[in-house]
Amino acid sequence: MGKYGFALVYHPDYVAPLPDAHRFPMPKFKLLQDLLLKDGVVEPEQIFEPELPSLELIQLVHTPKYVREYCAGTLESKAQRRIGLPWSSALAHRTRIAIGGTILAAKLALEYGCACNTAGGTHHAFPSYGSGFCIFNDLAIASRVLQHQRLAHKILIIDCDVHQGDGTAYIFQNDNSVFTFSMHCEANFPSRKQHSDLDISLPIGLDDDGYLQILASHLSDLLSEVRPELVLFDAGVDTHVSDRLGKLSLTNWGIYRRERMVLSTCKAAGYPVASVIGGGYGKDMSALVYRHSLLHRAAQEVYSTN
């Protein structure tokens, strides 16, 4: 299989019970897997299915009360509205599967050098509540699980979703073992930003070249400074010019160049990287799924040659 591991995160029985499914398209996870197989980006033997993580692992980050009430469907209505997604047992199950996928991707990255989840990036979830369509914070949970199991200690989170990873920043605000880097649109959700270890706020409408120049100016120095045992990369495609919730102006080519830059820089420096797809919102499902596939296409390019 070489150095490229691919972690599958998809629950085939799940259909999103959403009134506005074109904005929050849950079926994209299976469509993404199907596209990657059809285009030969991955082979079947590169696909790994995650296990359902225990509630105890989720509680390494989230409070037992919140985890228990959400999973049981007894969360109070105000807290449920803050998440922005209607509760169902299927959604609760898929949420846990997605966390399992990020945990698995992190472990595979340590083994193969790179692994990509086909879901994940729920970076707005805080320890005791969810927010912004994020229920549990998979990036934080994966970090804590690897530390708890003594597989890695120093972790760098590179968050390139268009929205600040405020939940992740809050969770690790007093923890030197996890360095949080968020590069996001300044005039976008959340209105109240948290303090990451390094925040880069971007102006509305920033294009490919401007975005990539800013990222390039920080990336190598960041790796040299932090010297992580593992990099977690949130590759949100809501930076795209046509994204409904974005406000930046990246093209498909710009997003692909971003993914290649992050992955190739990590590889050249010798740091394993586990990636999640992050946010992406649009009416054209096939276009959205293709944008998410750019992460995996870049990984196949970078890690298919030694």
**Taking the C-alpha atoms of 185, 170, 11 and 91 in order, what is their torsion angle to the nearest 10 degrees?**
-100
Catalytic residue (choose from 11, 62, 124, 240): 124
Q: Whole-angstrom Cα distance, residue 41 to residue 76?
A: 43
Contact 295, 35 (CB under 8 A): no
The sign one gets for the Cα dihedral 52, 57, 58, 64 is positive
124 is catalytic: yes
3-state secondary structure of 54: coil
DSSP string across 226-273 = H--SEEEEE---TTBTT-TT---BB-HHHHHHHHHHHHHHHHHHT--E
Q: Which residues are catalytic?
A: 124
